[in-house]
A and B are shown apart, each in its own frame.
Chain A
Amino acid sequence: MEEIKKPDVINQYTGEKWYYSDIVKEHFFKPRNLLLEKPAREDEFDAHGIVGSPACGDMMEMWMKVDPGTERVKDLKWKTFGCASAIAATSMYSVMLTENGGLPIAAALKIRPQDVMERLGGLPARKVHCSVLADKAFLKTANDYFRKTGQNHRVIVSGSRVVDSRFNITDKDIEEAVLEGARTFEEVQQKLKVGVGASDGVRTDVEALIRFYSEKYYG
Chain B
Amino acid sequence: MLMTKNTNIKRIYMDYAATTPVDPRVKKAMEPFWISNFGNPGGLYEEGRRAKEALEESRKKIAAIIGARPDEIIFTSGGTESINLAILGALKMLGGGHLITSKFEHHAVLKPIEDLQKRGFDVTYIQVNGDGVINAEDVKKALRPDTVFVSIMYANNEIGTIQPIAEIGKVIRDYKLQTKNCKLVFHTDACQASGYLDLNVDRLGVDLMSINASKIYGPKGVGFLYKKQNIKLMPQILGGGQEGRLRSGTENVAFAVAMAEALRIAQEEKTKEAKRLTKLRDYFISRATMEIPKVVLNGHATKRLPNNINISVLDIEGESLVLALDSEGIAFSTGSACTSESLDPSHVILALGKPYEFAHGSMRFTLGKKTTKKEIDYVIQKMKEKVEWLRIVSPINLDPDAQSMSRPEVFAGEGLRVKAKSKNFK
Chain A residues proximal to chain B, CB less than 8 Å? 6, 8-9, 11-14, 16, 22, 25-26, 28-31, 34, 36, 50-61, 79-84, 86-87, 126, 129-130, 136, 158-160, 168, 170, 172-173, 176, 180-181, 192-194
Contact present for B337 and A81 (CB under 8 Å): no
Interface membership of B47, Cβ < 8 A: no
Across the A-B interface, the 4 shortest Cβ-Cβ residue pairs: A83-B338, A79-B395, A83-B319, A61-B395
Other-chain residue from B315, B323, B395, B407 in contact with A28 (beta carbon distance below 8 A): B323
Interface residues of B, count at CB 8 A: 48
A52–B411 contact, CB under 8 A? yes
Q: Across the interface, do A83 and B336 meet the contact criterion of CB distance under 8 Å?
A: yes
A60 touches B395 (CB 8 A): yes
Q: Is the CB of B341 within 8 A of A193?
A: no
- B326 near A83 with CB under 8 A, answer no
Given A50-B395, A81-B396, A83-B319, are A13 and B343 neighbors across the interface (CB < 8 Å)? no
Q: Mark B39-73, 1 if CB is under 8 A from A, else 0.
A: 00000000000000000000000000000000000
Question: Any chain A CB within 8 A of the CB of B18?
Answer: yes
A51 touches B414 (CB 8 A): yes
List 17 A-B residue pairs with CB atoms under 8 Å apart, sorted by A's residue number.
Answer: A8-B4, A14-B341, A22-B2, A22-B4, A25-B1, A28-B320, A28-B323, A50-B407, A52-B407, A57-B345, A79-B393, A80-B393, A81-B394, A83-B319, A158-B415, A176-B417, A180-B343
**B 279-332 contacts with A by CB, 8 A:** 315-320, 322-324, 326-327
| Residues of B1-21 contacting chain A, CB below 8 A | 1-4, 15, 18
Partner of B341, one of A6, A11, A50, A160: A11
Q: Which B residues have a C-beta under 8 Å from some C-beta of A?
A: 1-4, 15, 18, 315-320, 322-324, 326-327, 333, 336-343, 345, 356-357, 360, 392-396, 407, 410-411, 413-421, 425
Chain B residues contacting A6 (CB-CB under 8 Å) are: 4
Least Cβ distance of B325 to chain A in Å?
A: 12
Say yes or no: B337 contacts A56, CB within 8 Å: yes
Provide the residues of chain B in CB contact with A84, threshold 8 Å: 319-320, 323
By a CB distance below 8 angstroms, the chain B residues around A60 are: 395
- Shortest CB-to-CB span from B421 to chain A, Å, is 6
A54 nearest CB across to chain B (Å): 4
C-alpha spacing A159/B416, complex, angstroms? 10
Nearest CB of B to A43, in Å: 20
Say yes or no: A52 contacts B392, CB within 8 Å. no
Distance (Å) between the CB of A78 and the closest chain B CB? Answer: 8
Partner among B341, B393, B417 whose Cβ is within 8 Å of the Cβ of A16 = B341
* Chain A residues with CB below 8 A from B333, complex form: 12
Smallest Cβ distance from A69 to chain B, in angstroms? Answer: 30
Residue of B nearest to A36 (CB): B392
Contact B340–A81 (Cβ < 8 Å): no
B417 touches A173 (CB 8 A): yes
Contacts of B327 in A (CB 8 A): 29
Q: Identify A82's interface contact among B317, B324, B415, CB under 8 A.
A: B317
Whether A51 and B410, one on each chain, are in contact in the complex, defined by CB atoms closer than 8 angstroms, is yes
Q: Which of B323, B339, B425 has the most CB of A within 10 A?
A: B323
Within 8 Å CB of B421, what residues of A?
Answer: 54
Closest to A29 in B: B1
B339 touches A59 (CB 8 A): no
Q: Which residue of A lies closest to B408 (CB)?
A: A52
Say whether B392 contacts A9, CB under 8 Å: no
Give A127's nearest chain B residue, CB to CB: B338
B316, B324, B343 — most chain A CB neighbours (10 Å): B343
Which B residues lie within 8 Å of A159 (CB)? 415
CB pair B420–A173 under 8 Å, yes or no, is: yes
Instruction: Kindly identify which residue among B315, B320, B340, B417 contacts A87, using a CB–CB cutoff of 8 Å.
Output: B320
- Contact present for A13 and B339 (CB under 8 Å): yes
Q: How far is the CA of A143 from the CA of B416 in the complex (A)?
A: 18
